[in-house]
Structure 1
Amino acid sequence: MIQIVEYGPTWPRRFEQLRRECTDAMAAAGAPVVAIEHFGSTSVPGLAAKPIIDATGR
């Protein structure tokens, strides 16, 4: 079952936390990171969404 919930005001902070963790892990592994982007419905303020943070790196 897919769960859709009202926008979570903590989602941007959660993404920033995940971005820092991923960036730190990649740096420790010697892998360069240019950017990690927040995308998908959780990145749109006010939009109901699946409560799953989507991100992509390059």
Structure 2
Amino acid sequence: MGWELHTIATFAGHRHTDSTLRYPPPWADLADKLGRGMDHIHAWRIGMLTGTDAATAGTPR
């Protein structure tokens, strides 16, 4: 799923797409962070279902 450049420019309040292209894409790092977060959530859910230590791994105490 990608956004069309004109849509991003409009969303950002830019009149011209040249202004939008000056900024680095924030979604590049966001996709990696989301993937890591989902891995953590999946491990936690598996731990809860199986009763293993994975259920408490990485949770604050």
Q: What interval of TM-score do these two structures reach, taking the shorter chain for normalisation?
A: 0.3 to 0.5
What is the TM-score normalised by the length of structure 2?
0.39
With a CA cutoff of 8 Å and minimum separation of 6, indicate the structure with the bigger relative contact order.
1
**Greater helix fraction, Structure 1 or Structure 2:** 2
**Greater strand fraction, Structure 1 or Structure 2:** 1
* Structure whose alpha-carbon radius of gyration is higher: 2
